[in-house]
Amino acid sequence: MLKAPANNINRIFDANINRAKEGLRVCEEITRFSLNSKPLTQGLKNCRHRINLILKNIPSSFKFFKYRQSSLDIGKNIYVNELKRENIQDIFFANIQRVKESIRVLEEFSKLKNINCAIQFKRLRYVIYEIEKRAAGKISALSHT
C-alpha cells in the first residue's frame, strides 16, 4: 500500500482550510450586504469559526501553513470556470460549492488524524447544505430585481 507523506497531507489540509474559509467569507458578504439577512450571515460566520474549533482537536493544526508551497502548486494557474461570473448568484453558488467540496476533503483527510474531527466536518457539511438551501431562493430573487 502506498502511503502519502505527512507533508502532502498537511498541504491538503492547509489548502482546503483556506479554500473553505475564503468561500464562506464570500458567501457571508453576499448574505450580509446583498440579502441583508442576519440569520444567514450569522450561520455562515458560525461555520467559518467552527472550522477552527474542529481543528483544535488535531495536534499542531495551527502549523499547517508551514507546509504551504504556493509557488510550487501545479493547480494555481489552472482555470476552468473561476473567471466566469455574471452576477451575485453565480458568485454565491460557485463559492458555496467550493466550501462543500473543501469541507468534504477535510472530512476525508481528518480520518487519518482524528476520527472525531471527520465526524464534526461531516456534520458541518450538512449544516452548510441547509444554509445553501435557505439562501438559494433569496439569492435567486436577486437576479430578478
Per-residue pLDDT averaged across 40-69, rounded? 84
pLDDT interval class at 51 (50, 70, 90): very high
Q: What is the CA radius of gyration of the chain?
A: 16
Closest CA to 142 of 39, 37, 44: 37
* For helices 115-142 and 88-110, angle between their N-to-C axes, nearest 10 degrees: 170
Q: Flag whether pLDDT at 4 surpasses 70.
A: no
Q: For 40-56, b where at least 16 C-beta lie within 10 A, e where not — what string? A: bbebbeebbebbeebbe
Residue range 92-128, pLDDT digits in tens: 999 999 999 999 999 999 999 999 999 999 999 999 9
For residue 70, is pLDDT > 60?
no
Torsions phi, psi of 74, nearest 5?
A: -70, -15
Dihedral, CA of residue 101, residue 104, residue 108 and residue 114, to nearest 10: 130
Please state the pTM of the whole predicted model.
0.85
Q: Cell for 89? A: 448568484
Asked whether residue 29 carries a pLDDT value surpassing 70, the answer given is yes
Residue 3: pLDDT band (50, 70, 90) is: low
Chain centroid to Cα 91, Å, comes to 14
